[in-house]
Structure 1
Amino acid sequence: MRAAALYPAAGALLLSTLTAAPAGGAPHTAGVSGVALAAARAAATGVAFGKCSDAQDLPGDLQCGKVSVPLDYARPDGRQIELTVSRVRATHRDPHNSKRRVPRQGALVFNPGGPGASGLYFPLVGLMPEWKRIGAAYDLVGYDPRGVGRSAPLSCQKPEDFFKGPSPAPAHPSEAYKRERVARAKKLARGCAERTGSALRHYNSLNNARDLDVLRAALGEERLTFMGASYGTYFGALYATMFPSHVRRMVFDAAVNPDPAKVWYRNNLDQSVAFESRWTDLREWIAANDEVYGLGGTAEAVRLSYERALARLAEKPAGGAVGPGQLQGAFLQAGYYDDLWPSRAEALSAYLKGDPEPLVALASPVREAAAEAENASAVYTAVECNDAPWPTDFRVWDRDNTRLARVAPFETWDNVWANLPCAYWTAPRQRPLDVRTGPGELPPTLILAAERDAAAPYDGALELHRRLSDSVLVTERDAGTHGIAGGPNRCVNGHLDAYLLEGRLPSRRAACVGHAAPAATAPGAKAAAK
């Protein structure tokens, strides 16, 4: 397992426009006393770590516990919800010198993003060579944020209704298909409201940041050491703005653009543009390996092969389960992680040569994971819809994305359908916080970004760097993996280790040469990743 696999691939970070008037008030100051009260309680109670309920067969020494937080920080004595937390203690073992005992530096708390992703199994990265030095000095701590997994889980529909396959994936949908998707979006928005009731409004990024401060206190940490990936960088940046004096060190990996004017609709448009470029990168790699895959010697020829498969799957789904939507989803994942490129190319090649089995194995919905997938989708929807105003007139979405799909057809409409319930959301919307810290307000922080990341376009890292004074940006050049900490790039990992272990950062922006492209896997060979 590579560190990149910790970050959520399915379902895209799918960000997104402030076309409605923002809600009034100062959102970050609401519930300040409630956070202080909840943190004081958590500090007094601590976390009673013990065996994890399903971790008997897992490697390592993973422990689990609970932390109580208010559902509503404006009413800290009201309803409480429990966050499930996991930990592997610092090993104190220097991987390069077995006789040296490494002093503990505290807890490193991680969030993998989403919104809606679970971080419970993050502490197991300490078993990987790239993380052993960090795992020697830190307790590695993961958790399920509110609404996720075992932390007051949300649901917007029956899990058995979540996977709708085989499904279409029109790059230029008809008016009839648009009407169908609008109806589905309205139904999902109603389902979220009906299943969760008045509590729904409290599942948002500001509360995720407040929960993080309570977790810090429960762990006995005076100041927080935190690493967020993808969406985790956004509420990590909210935390840095709201609680700068509580920060020790922070790593922002695959940074999301925190500009309030971008949260979330406009970020979504930018993401669709970036995925088109990443789709081109993948097609060029397949074309460069045409002798292996036979899908065409140019990016355009590979596109025609892909579209031929889409058309064939529309007529007859592979294995009765894989239609155009499932094929598009499989290749969208490859837009996140280039180590998935060989398996996708191999499956597409085999399918077009008459063997559907690799594609069926790769892209069929995993029915056993329906409940987990539906929960992640519900949290994603609730958090993003609650966080900011969205266009409430579908004509705005239709205009913007019809125009965009002319130049970026690969992901544009899939992004729309993932976010469209926010047009019909009934819970109150937050006004996005203006993420910003001045000189000396926040300890130096580290931002990591791949230059061609599609899920979190590079402009987001530049914007976060501008807004967080004393931050340092490390860029992996000519690379596009979504989340680069602890991955294959030794230069990136060197900067990560130096910062977390020694508090040392480059004096200014730094760049690392991109990691090597994956090796092609011959059709018929076992895929390197699925």
Structure 2
Amino acid sequence: MATAVLAGLALPATANADPGRDPGDTDRVPARYAGQQFHWQPCDGQPELDCATMAVPRDWHHPDAGPDLSIAVSRHRTTDRAHRTGTLMEAAGGPGGQGLLRPMDLAQGAPTVAAAYDIVSFDQRGVGRSTHAQCQTPEQFQQFLAGDWRDRSPEAIDRVVANSRALVAGCVEHSGDLLPYLTTEQTVHDMDLFRSLLGEKKISYYGASYATMIGAYYGTLFPHRVERMVLDSNIGFEGTWEQYELGQPMSFQRRFEQDFLPWMAARDATYHWGTTPEEVEAHWEQRRAALHDRPITEGSLTLGPNQLDNGTISAIYSDKAFPLLARALTALDDWQGADPAAKQTARQLFGQYLSPGFLAEYFSVTCGDTKWTKDMDTWIERGAKNTARYPLVGARTLAFSSVCALWPTDPAPKVKVTGAHLPPVLMLNSLHDPATYYEAALGAHRALRGSKLVTVTSNGNHGQYPGSDPCVTGTVERYLLDGRIPEHDLTCPAPSAG
């Protein structure tokens, strides 16, 4: 069990507090939170991990108002207690990912780090085994994803907006009293309570994807609580979610056209989809048009054009998933006569995109963290432009952004990331990352003063550590284990896709 360190625990202040001290170092947290003890038990399904829960205020700015939330936490303890460096905290990406079991992945992928650190993580507020949000049933969620988002007819546009309105109404009905508090700014205060209950004056941190934003916000509000920090595949956390998400159609299209299509064209002898990227893309468009006219239905599976897009989007996050996407695509040429293994891959890839729980958290955070344009005509116009120029992800601009245009809560207090009073932060990003695109990483790097950026070339993967690139591995582990960070930004050549 770990008891609270009362002196290290504080209420949040505004994001504009005196930068010479931690903004959280003002007032004490109520004793009912500061005095908690963890009752660690083996995690369900992961006996090598310990799990526990902690209570947190619904609203850290008014900790005595409203019922508490429950946060599920976990730890993987180093067996070498004599040489323990400290505690390394993780958080999940998304928003909507679950972090509770992540320490096992890092411990297995980075055993030298696991030998030096206790690795801890949590399901952030709103998701997983913590107090979670709910918006839609699986059936309602499938309706949100149905149809063809490229269709720009008035009827189709009205249907998309109506689906988004229904999703928001479901969130309000089922989770309305929770939505204003599912924000990144609230989450980082949960993290600092976790740190204090662990008995740690400082923590180190590793976060990938959206967890880079969580880390940057934590470092802004609690800079003197940070020992070392690695941010891998970076959100544009210096700006708004609207600004950041408007860049994603370009980066997903770039990844698709410049990485996946050439990869598949080079393997025409295996997949028979074309010998050039242009031929493969034409084949893909033919299959998509056929699904628009005649979606594949089999049992609970409905495979239409949006499902093709969504499965492709998920597969191009990593080079390792390219063969899965290619195999699934071959099943679309002749569904009835397709190889059973290819059909099963297609069912999994195209039929299991995200989940209602994931999107409930995703929209709560992205719509509630920062301001969004509320004018629906603006989103209809932007959706048309993105559909024409970057159709893979651009076609869903209206569906996703209209949810935030309709979102019922005011934006959270703005956290301005500067890097003030933080130790040097190590950042990683690949050039062709589809989700956390390189241009956004550069903006985040400039905002986080004193950070060092490792640019990974010849690789478009989302998430660089742990992995097989010795340059990345060596750089990260010299920093985490020995405190040595590059003097300047550097470039790591990564292995090309196999």
TM-score normalised by L of structure 1: 0.84
Match of 2:272 in 1: 294
Match of 2:92 in 1: 112
Report if aligned partners of 1:287, 1:299 keep a CA contact under 8 Å in 2.
yes
Alignment equivalent of 1:362, drawn from 336, 345, 348: 345
Match of 2:307 in 1: 326
For residues 367 and 164 of structure 1, do their structure 2 counterparts lie closer, same or farther at Cα, with a shift above 3 Å needed? farther
- Once residues 311 and 268 of structure 1 are traced to their aligned partners in structure 2, the CA distance between those partners, rounded to angstroms, is 26
Report if aligned partners of 1:229, 1:253 keep a CA contact under 8 Å in 2.
yes
For residues 172 and 157 of structure 1, do their structure 2 counterparts lie closer, same or farther at Cα, with a shift above 3 Å needed? closer
TM-score normalised by L of structure 2: 0.89
1:402 aligns with 2:384: yes
For residues 143 and 369 of structure 1, do their structure 2 counterparts lie closer, same or farther at Cα, with a shift above 3 Å needed? farther
Match of 1:249 in 2: 228
- Once residues 158 and 168 of structure 1 are traced to their aligned partners in structure 2, the CA distance between those partners, rounded to angstroms, is 18
1:203 aligns with 2:203: no
Tell me which moved more, 158-167 or 457-466: 158-167
Alignment equivalent of 1:501, drawn from 481, 485, 493: 481
Matches within 5 A, 1:145-224: 145-164=124-143, 167-224=146-203
Task: Deviation per CA, 1:309-357: give whole Å up to 9, x if none.
Answer: 2223331415352222222211111221111101111221233154174
Counterpart AA for 1:70: P
For residues 161 and 422 of structure 1, do their structure 2 counterparts lie closer, same or farther at Cα, with a shift above 3 Å needed? same
- Give, in angstroms, the shift of residue 517 of structure 1: 0.4
- RMSD (Å) for aligned C-alpha atoms: 2.7
Q: Secondary structure, in 3 states, of the residue corresponding to 2:174?
A: helix
Counterpart AA for 1:376: F
- Once residues 187 and 171 of structure 1 are traced to their aligned partners in structure 2, the CA distance between those partners, rounded to angstroms, is 20
What percentage of aligned pairs have identical amino acids?
Answer: 32
Higher relative contact order (CA 8 A, sep 6+): 1
- Once residues 464 and 34 of structure 2 are traced to their aligned partners in structure 1, the CA distance between those partners, rounded to angstroms, is 33
- Once residues 126 and 255 of structure 1 are traced to their aligned partners in structure 2, the CA distance between those partners, rounded to angstroms, is 18
Match of 1:68 in 2: 55
Match of 1:345 in 2: 326
1:378 aligns with 2:356: no
- Once residues 464 and 73 of structure 2 are traced to their aligned partners in structure 1, the CA distance between those partners, rounded to angstroms, is 24
Match of 2:6 in 1: none
Q: Secondary structure, in 3 states, of the residue corresponding to 2:104?
A: helix
Q: Secondary structure, in 3 states, of the residue corresponding to 2:110?
A: helix
Q: Secondary structure, in 3 states, of the residue corresponding to 2:176?
A: helix
Tell me which moved more, 141-150 or 160-169: 160-169
Q: Secondary structure, in 3 states, of the residue corresponding to 2:89?
A: strand
1:267 aligns with 2:244: yes
Q: Secondary structure, in 3 states, of the residue corresponding to 2:296?
A: coil
Q: Secondary structure, in 3 states, of the residue corresponding to 1:162?
A: helix
Alignment equivalent of 2:110, drawn from 110, 116, 131: 131
Tell me which moved more, 336-345 or 35-44: 35-44
Match of 1:491 in 2: 471
Alignment equivalent of 1:412, drawn from 360, 385, 394: 394
- Give, in angstroms, the shift of residue 394 of structure 1: 1.5
Report if aligned partners of 1:84, 1:144 keep a CA contact under 8 Å in 2.
yes
Counterpart AA for 2:261: R
Matched length: 476
- Once residues 416 and 265 of structure 1 are traced to their aligned partners in structure 2, the CA distance between those partners, rounded to angstroms, is 12
For residues 267 and 323 of structure 1, do their structure 2 counterparts lie closer, same or farther at Cα, with a shift above 3 Å needed? same
- Once residues 43 and 455 of structure 1 are traced to their aligned partners in structure 2, the CA distance between those partners, rounded to angstroms, is 37
- Once residues 202 and 473 of structure 2 are traced to their aligned partners in structure 1, the CA distance between those partners, rounded to angstroms, is 23
- Once residues 399 and 145 of structure 2 are traced to their aligned partners in structure 1, the CA distance between those partners, rounded to angstroms, is 16
- Once residues 208 and 390 of structure 2 are traced to their aligned partners in structure 1, the CA distance between those partners, rounded to angstroms, is 25
1:88 aligns with 2:65: no
Counterpart AA for 2:54: V
- Give, in angstroms, the shift of residue 388 of structure 1: 1.4
Counterpart AA for 2:105: V
- Give, in angstroms, the shift of residue 366 of structure 1: 9.6
Task: Deviation per CA, 1:444-474: give whole Å up to 9, x if none.
Answer: 1110111111100112221222122221111
- Give, in angstroms, the shift of residue 502 of structure 1: 0.7
- Once residues 485 and 30 of structure 2 are traced to their aligned partners in structure 1, the CA distance between those partners, rounded to angstroms, is 30
Match of 1:37 in 2: 28
Structure 2, unmatched stretches of 5+, are 1-12
Report if aligned partners of 1:351, 1:358 keep a CA contact under 8 Å in 2.
no
Report if aligned partners of 1:28, 1:206 keep a CA contact under 8 Å in 2.
no
Matches within 5 A, 1:15-54: 37-38=28-29, 44-52=35-43, 54=44
- Give, in angstroms, the shift of residue 179 of structure 1: 0.6
